[in-house]
């Protein structure tokens, strides 16, 4: 196995977890290994990656529900959607009066945006912002620690972070998938449409947020998926979460406030 450094704790000790992934022996963070090269990732996020996600009522509702959550904490102001993709959330927020901008790694996605400012990364975004949103983007990045540290840097004092990622502990959905397809759901394969480079549990996400200066105000699960089949198969886990607080749903979601005292250098 080639050299591996844990993005969360810096450890170099890891064990194979599943095909193409390892788990840190010290903090249990699960990561895709080896990480695909930047050029390979750029190729995978070509225009075809976004083609299936252009609008539709269910997806519009999903973005509206996410904005409704943001509005509960921040009724207006300047916000940055990191990993904005084709820009659905930015447009939803702008239509509601927010001064919203985006960042996007994909050259193809960025080139297609004409109607709002979009930057290649957080380092290029001209802060300060009142909030940064990361809707299923953090798991696609080669270093979540770097992304969250950069998010901290572009936020105004007391700024907010909204982060949603897939849940490694989505036991219910994984069981349903195995039953329906007769095979296990792989975290990563070289042909997966969604190249997830990190696979967070509630514990590893919380530790990452603590490390980068983002104590959570709220922890839970993301709004229901736009695809009714995913919604249906995740429903029992969402009911369990509401009753017990145990999160076996397909997603993790946190709202955090940037902590000045633990700001990283
Ligand atoms: Zn680790």
Q: How remote is the CA of residue 171 from the centroid of ligand 1, in Å?
A: 22
Q: Residue 117 domain-assigned? A: yes
First to last CA, the chain: 32
Q: Residue 159 domain-assigned? A: yes
Taking only the tens of pLDDT, the chain with its 265 residues reads 568 899 999 999 999 999 999 999 999 999 999 999 888 888 888 878 877 665 578 889 999 999 999 999 999 999 999 999 999 999 999 999 999 999 999 999 999 999 999 999 999 999 999 999 999 999 999 999 999 999 999 999 999 999 999 999 999 888 888 888 898 888 998 888 889 999 999 999 999 999 999 999 999 999 888 888 888 889 999 999 999 999 999 999 999 999 985 444 4
Q: Residue 8 domain-assigned? A: no
Q: How remote is the CA of residue 98 from the centroid of ligand 1, in Å?
A: 37
Q: Residue 13 domain-assigned? A: no
Q: How many domains does the chain have?
A: 1
Q: How remote is the CA of residue 7 from the centroid of ligand 1, in Å?
A: 7
Helix (H, G, I), strand (E, B) or coil at 165: strand
How far are the Cα atoms of 67, 142, 144, 184, 247 from residue 86, in angstroms, in the given order?
16, 20, 21, 30, 29
Q: Residue 141 domain-assigned? A: yes
Separation between Cα atoms, residue 18 and residue 96, nearest integer Å? 43
Q: How remote is the CA of residue 197 from the centroid of ligand 1, in Å?
A: 14
Q: Residue 7 domain-assigned? A: no
Q: How remote is the CA of residue 262 from the centroid of ligand 1, in Å?
A: 20
Q: How remote is the CA of residue 24 from the centroid of ligand 1, in Å?
A: 5
The CATH number for 75's domain is 3.40.50.150
Q: Residue 44 domain-assigned? A: no
Which pair of structure tokens corresponds to residue 172?
A: 């219910």
Q: What is the pTM of this model?
A: 0.93
Q: Residue 29 domain-assigned? A: no
The domain of 215 spans 55-262
């Amino acid at each position: 196995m080639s050299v591996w450094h844990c993005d969360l704790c810096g450890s170099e000790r890891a064990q194979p977890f599943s095909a193409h992934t390892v788990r840190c022996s010290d903090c249990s963070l699960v990561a895709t290994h080896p990480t695909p090269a930047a050029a390979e990732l750029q190729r995978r996020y070509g225009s075809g990656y976004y083609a299936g996600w252009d609008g539709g009522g269910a997806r519009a509702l999903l973005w509206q529900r996410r904005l409704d959550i943001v509005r509960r904490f921040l009724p207006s102001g300047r916000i940055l959607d990191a990993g904005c993709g084709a820009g659905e959330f930015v447009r939803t927020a702008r239509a509601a009066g927010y001064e919203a901008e985006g960042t996007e790694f994909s050259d193809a996605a960025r080139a297609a945006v004409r109607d709002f400012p979009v930057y290649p990364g957080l380092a290029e975004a001209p802060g300060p912002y009142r909030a940064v949103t990361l809707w299923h983007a953090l798991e696609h990045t080669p270093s979540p620690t770097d992304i969250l540290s950069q998010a901290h840097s572009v936020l105004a004092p007391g700024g907010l972070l909204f982060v949603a990622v897939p849940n490694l502990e989505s036991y219910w959905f994984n069981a349903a998938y195995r039953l329906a397809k007769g095979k296990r759901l792989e975290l990563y394969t070289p042909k997966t449409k969604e190249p997830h480079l990190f696979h967070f549990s509630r514990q590893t996400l919380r530790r990452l947020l603590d490390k980068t200066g983002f104590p959570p105000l709220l922890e839970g699960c993301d709004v229901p998926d736009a695809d009714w089949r995913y919604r249906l198969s995740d429903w029992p886990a969402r009911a369990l979460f509401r009753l017990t607080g145990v999160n076996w749903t397909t997603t993790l979601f946190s709202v955090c406030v940037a902590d000045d005292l633990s700001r990283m250098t």
